[in-house]
Amino acid sequence: MIYFWNEIICPILRITRPNTIVEIGSAQGFNTTNLLLYGQSAGSKLIVIDPHPLFDVEQMKQVWGSQFEMIQDYSLQALPKLGAYDAILIDGDHNWYTVYHELKEIEKTENFPIIFLHDTEWPYGRRDMYYFPESIPESYRKPNAAKGIMPGISELVDGGHNATVNNALYEYGDKNGVLTAIEDFLSETSLNLRFHRVHSQHGLGIIVPSGSSIHTYYNQMIEEIIRQSNL
């Protein structure tokens, strides 16, 4: 997600001016720091959801105080407990079950936020990956193994990309991958939404409400930001 910060995500936040931002999946906290620095000037609060963050949470709390809130839990457990938020970055567990149900939880919010989703293209657009396989109901969990991925090859390989995590044994098919989850959600929702795609760096998806004049403006500006970016 950090790859898109300067040219796409930060410019969109500056236009839409969210008061509360949620980040799902923080890893080492590099983009978390970007969001906090942005919020320092914009007056926004950041809520981070990650069961196993790879940075010093207590130090982050000491530096950023009430501007930063950490929830060390799975996203599907944490999201129903949140209040209102205006933007959300989804870069957590890259599989159909998690992303689809994250979107369904977000759909329940009173004011639908702008959503940024990473890994909408290869390798996880059409293939599930599980950081925590045991957290996915068995009926939704594809056969998987800690083996790598190669472009153009459906089967897993020795070595390859992301060989240290649990990847679905095959690509494509029903309920498989991040992009499939987004498409399934959009095909079902009754909300008026626009979906923007950036294809580089494993893909960025942006879902924005549509219909009102302000959201029409946001969508037009997002299209222009993507068009003018070098990504």
What predicted TM-score, i.e. pTM, was given to this entire model?
0.96
Task: Say if residue 128's pLDDT is above 90.
Answer: yes
Task: Say if residue 161's pLDDT is above 90.
Answer: yes
Mean pLDDT taken over the chain: 96
Query: CB neighbours (10 Å) of residue 184?
Result: 17
Predicted pLDDT at 87:
98
Angle value at C-alpha 31, between 27 and 37, nearest 5 degrees: 135
Write the single-letter amino acid at 229. Answer: S
Rounded CA separation 163/82 (Å): 34
The beta-carbon contacts of 66-75 under 8 Å, at least 24 apart in sequence, are: 67/36, 67/39, 67/40, 68/36, 69/45, 71/47, 73/49, 74/132, 74/135, 75/24, 75/25, 75/49, 75/102
The share of the chain scoring above pLDDT 90, in percent, equals: 97
pLDDT band at 159 (very low <50, low <70, confident <90, very high): confident
Rounded CA separation 56/35 (Å): 16
Predicted pLDDT at 147:
97
Q: Are strands 166-168 and 153-157 parallel, antiparallel or unpaired?
A: unpaired
Task: Say if residue 230's pLDDT is above 90.
Answer: no
Task: Say if residue 211's pLDDT is above 90.
Answer: no
Closest alpha carbon to 148 in 171, 177, 176, 172: 171
Write the single-letter amino acid at 120. Answer: T
- Enumerate helices (H) and strands (E) in the chain, giving the number of each: 7, 12
C-alpha torsion 70→164→30→226, nearest 10: -110
Predicted pLDDT at 184:
98
Looking at residues 42-48, what average pLDDT do you find? Answer: 97
Rounded CA separation 61/70 (Å): 8
Closest alpha carbon to 84 in 109, 114, 117, 47: 109
Contact 128, 134 (CB under 8 A): no
